[in-house]
A and B are shown apart, each in its own frame.
Chain A
Amino acid sequence: MTTARAAAILLAKELRLEFRTRELLTATVVFAVVVVVLFSFAFDPTAAESRRYGPGLLWIAFLFAGSLMLHPSFGREQANQTLDALRMAPISPFAIVLGKMLANLLFLSVAEVILVPVFAVLYNISLAGIVGRLAIVLVLGTLGVVVTGTVFSAISAHARMRELLLPLLLLPILAPLLIAAVEATASLFSERPVLDRAWLAFLGGFDIVFLTASWLLSDFLLEE
């Protein structure tokens, strides 16, 4: 079975599993909204301030929500020891990791699709005319979060204090992505929205580097 096909099947399994209860998705969205609302207590967002701090807040909300959401990625497998069954299947380890990455990408994207309009309303930022370009930034940024996050979920699944460990490992690694995503989003929220190609290229580069690293190292991630 090819890696792509195996990953697709595993993705379908993850989706089926999640949509049975939708608890992860719900919790993620609610948490992200709470973060966004709490930030509004930290400062009184005037129009100019919203444009300045908004992108940063938005992406920090995504990162926090993401790092909480990514933990069960491999955590759930551990609880039921289903990972052994997956390992024995005639598929490459990368297929397992890729399947989870795609599932996480979808979950986090759904959370973002819900969160961005909420954010726009709360902070009075108009999304008119920038939705498409914003989507590109969101996808590239989320991809980076999900790629590294899934890998670190696999790593921290074997450790003590894994709920705390995952954000601890993930957030420093994602610092460059945070900068790039925030800057790209900021240039879209500005008075004259423009898609910053430099930062977009950076995001793409980040994604490629870590996706490649994950592909090369996935065997070691899923060892006994």
Chain B
Amino acid sequence: MTHFHFLFAAWMAVWAVFFVYEISVASRVARLREEIERLKQQVREG
């Protein structure tokens, strides 16, 4: 297969680009969810 490693790299790049971004967004969402719970608790107490 001619230039197979380039084709593979390109396919991996497509996955990587979306995956890395999704992970980054999802982890920030998770952190914020905790923060929101914490703050809601504070408001309830205050």
A–B touching in complex (CB under 8 Å): no
Instruction: Please report B residues at the A interface, Cβ cutoff 8 Å.
Output: none
Instruction: Please report A residues at the B interface, Cβ cutoff 8 Å.
Output: none
